[in-house]
């Protein structure tokens, strides 16, 4: 299986520099090798069900989190790579086939587990609760308006908030990226794709996977700063890239830590239109 994964990873990397589509991606990104790889919506759904975004740099990720070859069944994967009990996929979306429900995907409008909110972005269609939080049944992913208790953010005297006023009109900045949306995710003590662990109130972000590259490796973007402006109210922040977002709306969308999102707008907004640039 390892040699098969290596071949598939190379195919996946070749598609990584293309635009992603709407959340959740029911259609493969442009450039997805449909002749060599399984259907994208099947892979995407299994990736979320197994909580692969929380398994970077682990043997579990190597064993379970890469796409299969076209025509290959998930039954060939090890037992820990199988879909959690009571969960299946329908058109690329997780659905519950039994058991109690909770958050399965990280859309901004759904509710996180009471004790363990987790990370990485995606819209939620149907919720479920995995049997356990082991690698065979990972904790549900980044779904959360307000948690039961919200820690009071503590910021340094040198704030990352650049501006809280609407930007002035004028010539278009050619370095700006438009058409994306900001969402937010909980850290839950997990290392991001860049291999670093952060609190919910660190100003960090996850870039769309088409920009980030292979989520199993640290990207050249890791540690780079991004200036993001809320197009609704002009609030602007600077964040540091620390993770990838396999289910962002498109290549110009960015998933933010809770603290960074709150600097732009209330969590109750869920998602908001942004413009941004690398610094």
- Classify 255 as helix, strand or coil: strand
Q: Which of 147-151, 207-211, 244-248 has the lowest mean pLDDT?
A: 147-151
Query: Residue 259: which of 195, 177, 198 has the closest Cα?
Result: 198
Q: pLDDT tens, 96-147?
A: 776 544 333 343 333 343 333 344 444 333 343 444 434 444 444 454 444 4
Cβ contact 226:279 at 8 Å: yes
Q: How far apart are CA 218 and CA 216, in angstroms?
A: 7
> What's the pLDDT band for 74 if we cut at 50, 70, 90?
confident
Q: How far apart are CA 243 and CA 37, in angstroms?
A: 25
Query: Residue 100: which of 111, 115, 86 has the closest Cα?
Result: 86
Q: pLDDT tens, 16-42?
A: 333 333 334 446 666 667 788 888 888
What is the radius of gyration, based on Cα positions, of the chain?
Answer: 18
Every domain of the chain and the residues it spans:
2-82, 161-278
Cβ contact 62:89 at 8 Å: no
**Is the omega angle on the peptide bond into residue 24 within 30 degrees of 0, that is, cis?**
yes
Q: What is the mean pLDDT of residues 220-231?
A: 97
Residues 6+ apart with CB under 8 A from 17: 31, 210, 211, 213
Q: What is the mean pLDDT of residues 165-182?
A: 70
Cβ contact 78:113 at 8 Å: no
Helix (H) or strand (E) segment spanning residue 260: helix 258-264
Q: How far apart are CA 86 and CA 113, in angstroms?
A: 18
161-278 topology per CATH: Barwin-like endoglucanases (2.40.40)
């Amino acid at each position: 299986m390892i040699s098969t994964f290596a071949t598939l990873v190379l195919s996946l990397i070749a598609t990584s520099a293309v635009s992603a589509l709407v959340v959740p991606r029911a259609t493969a990104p442009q450039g997805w090798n449909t002749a060599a790889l399984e259907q994208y919506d099947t892979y995407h759904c299994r990736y979320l069900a197994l909580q692969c975004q929380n398994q970077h740099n682990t043997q579990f990720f190597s064993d379970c989190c890469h796409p299969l070859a076209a025509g290959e069944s998930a039954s060939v994967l090890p037992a820990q790579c199988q879909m959690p009990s009571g969960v299946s996929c329908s058109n690329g979306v997780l659905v519950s086939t039994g058991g109690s429900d909770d958050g399965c995907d990280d859309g901004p409008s759904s509710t996180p587990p009471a004790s363990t909110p987790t990370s990485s972005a995606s819209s939620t269609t149907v919720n479920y609760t995995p049997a356990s939080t082991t690698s065979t049944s990972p904790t549900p992913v980044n779904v959360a308006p307000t948690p039961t208790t919200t820690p009071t953010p503590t910021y340094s005297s040198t704030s990352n908030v650049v501006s809280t006023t609407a930007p002035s009109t004028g010539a278009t900045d050619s370095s700006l990226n438009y058409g994306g949306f900001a969402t937010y995710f909980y850290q839950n003590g997990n290392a991001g794709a860049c291999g670093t662990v952060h609190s919910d109130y660190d100003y960090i972000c996850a870039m769309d996977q088409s920009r980030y590259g292979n989520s199993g490796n640290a990207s050249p973007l890791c540690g780079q700063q991004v200036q993001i402006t809320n197009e609704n109210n002009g609030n602007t922040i600077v964040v540091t890239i620390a993770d990838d977002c396999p289910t962002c709306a498109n290549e110009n969308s960015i998933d933010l830590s809770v603290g960074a999102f709150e600097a732009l707008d209330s969590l109750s907004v869920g998602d908001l239109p942004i413009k941004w640039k690398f610094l």
